Amino acid sequence: MRNSWLRGSCIGRGAYGTVNAAVDAATGDIFAVKSVNLATASPSQVEALESEIAVLRSLSSPFVVKYLGDDTTSEGSSQFRNLHMEYLPAGTAADLPDRSEAAVASYAWCLVAALSYLHSRGIVHCDVKGKNVLLGPSPGTAALADFGSAVEVDFGSSTSAAAAARGSPLWMAPEAIRGERQGTEADVWSVGCTVIEMLTGKPAWGGSVWRIGYSDEVPLFPARISGAGADFLEKCLRRDYARRWSCDQLLQHPFLAVGARREVADHWSPRCVLDCLNSDFHEEEEEEYDGEIVNLEGSERIRGLVTAAGENWESDGGWVVVRGQSEGGDGGGGTCSEYSDLIEDKTSSSSSSTNLDFEFHTCINSNSNFEFDCNVCLKILKRLCDCISNYGFVHDCLHINWNSTNFMSTEFISAPLVLH
């Protein structure tokens, strides 16, 4: 478990928690942290995060976002449950820079490889879509993320599928929309929808959830798709789930031949902390559903799906130091305390700074000179300032003397930097 880490800018906020960029205070490593506020979260939100932690902890695949740990922290009067994950800021498959068929086939191969691995372990993702496929460090590489809707199924049972509809309606399989089942075959349907999304830049369906569940239609294929691509989609988007190909079969399909030659890097870290601020991973509105509407019919089921609480993805500024259990936290986790004016917001800051008193042997004097007696603070601040310098933000800034451990600053970044 990390003893101390910085909570950075918000890179995603959805129905099941908030995702922030974060920095390990001891090593400077950057990661992503998904959190729920235990004081305000619903039981289903907490359950979803705990389930995601349990699932990711059990997985090890280059095609699945890496689990890096979890903890519970106290921040002010609230406690937060946190999942630490690999940070991949290159964007998602919903916003590809290259929508050529060859590029899409490479990302699709990574996605199908991830699902093949999950299905072999009895796990159904239940929310496959472009925004849950994070782009890797090399062109054509990707990792599957967001396991808040994932379920484990017993392939030895007669059902071998989730009973309740989960995920995002426009990517759900017909049988999932109808509340009949949501097994591995439903993930395959979602792969087909996601490939169309990657090729066209928009969802495979225009918005009619009823058509997905209760018509005989399949999504329109892109006009310029190759024969191999069209055949791949046909294998995924068969309305009879029993006739869809498995992910193991799809990996052998000619459409994925280009992707099969790609290699996913084992490890990657962004150049610096400010990559977090420039990430394209700022989600937009979308609907997500995780509830039981199995007994509803037709229009009632559709109403239940499309009126479910949607995600509200936003971007926040600010950095928060979160200290782990070994630094004095009680019970289940660490502590967090906030000092909001260390580096002020560019829209409202002046050349003076508010006096602060750091909890870990650190102080500030009336002349805005920050005097440090803590190597962790020094290391983090130096890394942040190096990054700021690299990005050309040093204008009204900087008198830094690391030897005498004095730091003086005024405004030099558009988002506030907060140390706790």
Provide the annotated active-site residues. 127
Q: Answer yes or no: are the C-beta atoms of 335 and 324 closer than 8 Å.
A: no
Dig out the tokens for 396 from the structure: 């009204």
Helix (H, G, I), strand (E, B) or coil at 342: strand
Q: Answer yes or no: are the C-beta atoms of 341 and 354 closer than 8 Å.
A: yes
Computed on alpha carbons and rounded to an integer, the radius of gyration of the chain in Å comes to 23
Dist CA 416 CA 388 (whole Å) = 13
DSSP letter for each residue of 103-146:
HHHHHHHHHHHHHHHHHHTTEE----SGGGEEE-SSTT-EEE--
Dig out the tokens for 245 from the structure: 């190909």
Dist CA 406 CA 383 (whole Å) = 15
Helix (H, G, I), strand (E, B) or coil at 264: coil
Q: Which candidate, 373, 374, 375, 369, places its Cα nearest to that of 356? A: 369
Q: How far is CA 9 from CA 28, 182, 213, 359, 372, in A?
A: 16, 35, 38, 22, 24
Q: Answer yes or no: are the C-beta atoms of 93 and 198 closer than 8 Å.
A: yes
Q: Is 367 left (phi over 0), alpha (psi -120 to 50) or beta?
A: alpha
Q: Answer yes or no: are the C-beta atoms of 115 and 122 closer than 8 Å.
A: no
Which amino acid does the sequence have at 131? Answer: K
Which amino acid does the sequence have at 288? Answer: E
Dig out the tokens for 389 from the structure: 């310098």
Packed helices 227-236 and 101-120: angle between N→C axes, nearest 10 degrees: 30
34 is in an annotated binding site: yes
Beta strands in 50-189 (DSSP E): 67-75, 78-85, 123-124, 133-135, 142-144, 151-152, 166-167
Q: List the binding residues.
A: 34
Known binding-site positions for ATP = 34
